[in-house]
């Protein structure tokens, strides 16, 4: 079974293995400087293109980078980000330049629309189909954490503060 086109292998580490799934923005990449593009109250008012196009300038979040580096070599590290396909090259370059330990990068494909949580859920389900034994997931979006817990995953919330001004009907169980 060949992997989906929107999955980019870096080391070629096996997918059918213990795995840790790391979110990128707000966990490893500091997007504070471009959050203002999303200040609009409705989706139409948000400048998503501006937000994504500024990604090359993201500082590294030192704790996120160190955490990725500390993961045992026999665990497959997957960076799972809802970043759009159009900034794939910039994202790969950023991960390489900043030496972020990972084996796979999963981003949205050319037609990967829809809410981030729904999209991430399908990718996590696919990873399981490929044999990934997902031991831990890290994310800074409360909606993603709720979805991951619902899937029966061990999910760790990382506080970026990017979602504080939004109210979600989210409950952690």
| Torsion-angle region of 2 (φ positive above 0: left; ψ -120 to 50: alpha; else: beta) | beta
Q: Measuring CA to CA, how many Å separate 7 from each of 28, 92, 155? A: 18, 12, 21
Name the strand (E) or helix (H) holding 165.
Answer: none
Q: Which is nearer to Mg ion, 25 or 103 (CB)?
A: 25
Q: In Å, what is the CA distance from 113 to each residue of 30, 71, 96, 122? A: 23, 31, 26, 12
- Residue 145: CB atoms within 10 Å: 22
Number of chain residues interacting with Mg ion (CB under 5 A): 4
Instruction: Tell me which of 15, 22, 26, 143 binds Mg ion, using CB under 5 A.
Output: 26
Q: Of 22 and 134, which CB lies nearer to Mg ion in the complex structure?
A: 22
Residue 58 lies near Mg ion (rule: CB under 5 A): no
- Decide: is 25 part of the binding site for Mg ion (CB under 5 A): yes
Q: Does 64 bind Mg ion (CB under 5 A)?
A: no
Which residue in 23, 30, 58, 103 binds Mg ion (CB under 5 A)? 23
Interface of this chain with Mg ion, residues 112 to 141, rule: CB under 5 A: 140
Residues that bind Mg ion (CB under 5 A): 23, 25-26, 140
């Amino acid at each position: 079974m060949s992997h989906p086109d929107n999955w980019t292998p870096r080391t070629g580490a096996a997918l059918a293995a213990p795995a840790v799934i790391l979110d990128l923005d707000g966990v490893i990449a500091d997007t504070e400087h471009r959050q203002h593009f999303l200040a609009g109250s409705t989706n139409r008012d948000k400048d998503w293109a501006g937000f994504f196009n500024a990604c090359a300038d993201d500082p590294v979040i030192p704790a996120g980078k160190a955490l990725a580096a500390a993961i045992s070599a026999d665990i497959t590290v997957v960076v799972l980000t809802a970043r759009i396909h159009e900034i794939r090259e910039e994202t790969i370059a950023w991960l390489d330049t900043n030496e972020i330990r990972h084996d796979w990068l999963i981003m949205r494909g050319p037609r990967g629309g829809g809410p981030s949580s729904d999209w991430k859920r399908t990718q996590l389900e696919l990873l399981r189909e490929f044999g990934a034994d997902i031991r831990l997931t890290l994310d800074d979006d409360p909606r993603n954490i709720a979805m991951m817990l619902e899937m029966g995953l061990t999910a760790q919330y990382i506080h970026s503060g990017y979602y504080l001004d939004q109210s979600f009907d989210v409950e952690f169980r």
